[in-house]
Amino acid sequence: MELVHGILAMLVTPFTDDYSLNEQALRREVGWALDNGAQGIVATPSIGEFLHLTEPERLRAWEVTLDEARKRPLVCAVAMTSGATTLETLKYASHAAQMGFDAQQVIPPYYWRCGELEVERHYRMVAESAELPVVIYHNPALSKFTISPKFAGRLAAIQNIVAMKEVLTDLQHLEALYDEIGDRIEVYNTFRALLAGLMLGAAGGFINIFAVPAAAALLKAFKSGEIARAQEIQRRLNRCFPRGGEDTLGHLGTTKVTATVATGIEMGPARPPYMAPENAAALVRSRLPKLNELL
């Protein structure tokens, strides 16, 4: 299956109170995402705490996610195969390919700082292994590496790299990124810049689970030429969910709480030491009705 154009839901990994994988909640989350407009899913992404999971936990989460997704026709399934080293990423890429995922999402190595030559080597080795098509994941707050538009153009020339998920929202950066990449690979934006991305030619968005319904409605409005409606959905979407991004304290814990409130599925806590601010749930509950009335 080719990487789908549209909304791919990035799943949180639900835990029980003792931080064990909550398989029932994960199955419900996959169903909720697909019922609310997602055409694909991303298993154990950053907000899914891939780096906090043991190998057996991560593979089991993949199995459950893929099993639930394959109950629906034509659902695109992407696995976050990233590891702290290229060899670890290659190991997970092999597992994901054997399970039957359609593509893999890969962030640059995220502990020791890397330079462009090292990051290019990382992506080239993963892509040339031919295990699965590669989606570059650009999130400099987490990887400590910024992929410039020019460097993204270089990476886009590597065979078997098929797409890039971009979390940055600066319009000048996005315009330069699309100019450099051209039509060589697809670009998917974060929910905060989904409309801007679509206007620049994005294939869709890799969207945090809690923002899937609004992102799907925005995409539908854009495709129908209802630009004013798409603009208002984007504004309300960005007002609804706590701002700050991955470099903000409490972001991971807040994401788990927000996913619980938005989906009605208890996602449990983030793994220690990560916590959410005490007012996180109340803040989301106070903002969500204004967004939902437009959907």
pTM: 0.95
**Given the structure tokens 């991560």, which residue do they identify?**
58
pLDDT, position 244: 66
pLDDT tens profile 217-246: 999 999 999 999 999 999 999 999 976 666
Bond preceding residue 273 cis, omega within 30 of 0 = yes
> pLDDT digits over 46-59, tens only?
999 999 999 999 99
Residue 27: count of CB within 10 angstroms of its CB: 18
Per-residue pLDDT at 247 exceeds 90? no
Q: In this predicted structure, what is the pLDDT of residue 57? A: 98
CA 129, CA 65: separation in Å to the nearest integer? 24
Read off the pLDDT of each residue in 28-39 and give the average, rounded to a whole number: 98
Q: What is the mean pLDDT of residues 198-207?
A: 98
**How far is C-alpha 229 from the chain's CA centre?**
24
Q: Are 23 and 17 in contact (CB under 8 A)?
A: no
Which of 244, 243, 199 is CA-nearest to residue 218? 199
pLDDT of residue 246: 66
* Predicted confidence (pLDDT) at residue 130 exceeds the cutoff of 90: no
Contact 187, 201 (CB under 8 A): yes
Res. 248 pLDDT band, cuts 50 70 90: confident
